[in-house]
Chains A and B, each alone.
Chain A
Amino acid sequence: MCSGSCPYGESLDFTPRMLVLMSNFGEVRFTDTIWLCSSCYLCTFRCPSRIKITDEVLPKIREIALEREVPEELSRTLMNIMRYGNPFGLPQRERVGWVKELEFEVPFLEDVKRTDVLFIPGCYGSYHSRCREVTKTIARLFRMMDLDFAVLKGERCIGDHCRLLGEFGLFEELAAKNVKLLNRYEFNKIVTPDAHAFNSLKNEYPKFGLSANVLHHSQFFAENIENFEFDKLDYKVTYHDPCFIGRWNGDFQSSRIILERIGVELVEMKRNRENALCCGGGGGGIWLDSLVRSKVKERLSERRVREAYELGVDVIVTSCILDIPMFEDAIKVLNLDVRVMDISEIMMEALR
Chain B
Amino acid sequence: MICVIVRAVPDLVEGLEIEERDVRPYRYIANELDEYAVEHAVSLKEKYNERVEVIGIASEDAYDEIDESLYMAIAKGVDKAYKVKIPKTTSYKIADALSDFLKKFDIILTGTLAVDEFYGVLGATIADKLDIPYVGGVRSIEIEGDSVIVKKELGGGAYLVLKVKKPALFGILSLEKPPRYVPISKLRSVMRSAEIEELKVKVEEDVLDVRFLEPPKPEVEFIDGDPEEVAEKLAEIIRGLIS
Contacts and interface: CB of A to CB of B under 8 A. Distances in A.
Contacts of A82: 184
B179 A79 contact: yes
Interface residues of B, number: 15
A78 B187 CA distance: 13
B183 A66 contact: yes
B14 A91 contact: yes
Given A72-B178, A75-B178, A76-B178, A91 B15 contact: yes
A282 B192 CA distance: 33
Contacts of A173: 184
B181 interface: yes
Given A90-B13, A91-B14, A170-B184, A83 B177 contact: no
Contacts of A67: 183, 186
Contacts of A79: 178-179, 181
Interface in A48-93: 63, 66-67, 69-70, 72, 74-76, 78-79, 82-84, 89-93
A169 interface: yes
A168 interface: yes
Given A76-B178, A83-B29, A167 B183 contact: yes
B13 A167 contact: no
A170 B181 CA distance: 12
A167 B178 contact: no
A183 to B, nearest CB: 22
Nearest to A79: B181
Nearest to A173: B184
Interface string B176-215: 0111110111111000000000000000000000000000
Contacts of B13: 83-84, 89-91
A170 B14 CA distance: 20
B135 to A, nearest CB: 27
B13 to A, nearest CB: 5
Interface string A151-186: 000000000000000011110110000000000000
A305 B83 CA distance: 54
Interface in A25-60: none
A90 B181 CA distance: 18
Contacts of B15: 91, 93
16 contacts: A70-B180, A75-B178, A75-B179, A79-B181, A83-B29, A89-B13, A91-B14, A92-B14, A93-B15, A167-B184, A168-B185, A169-B183, A169-B185, A169-B188, A172-B184, A173-B184
Interface of B: 13-15, 29, 177-181, 183-188
Interface of A: 63, 66-67, 69-70, 72, 74-76, 78-79, 82-84, 89-93, 167-170, 172-173
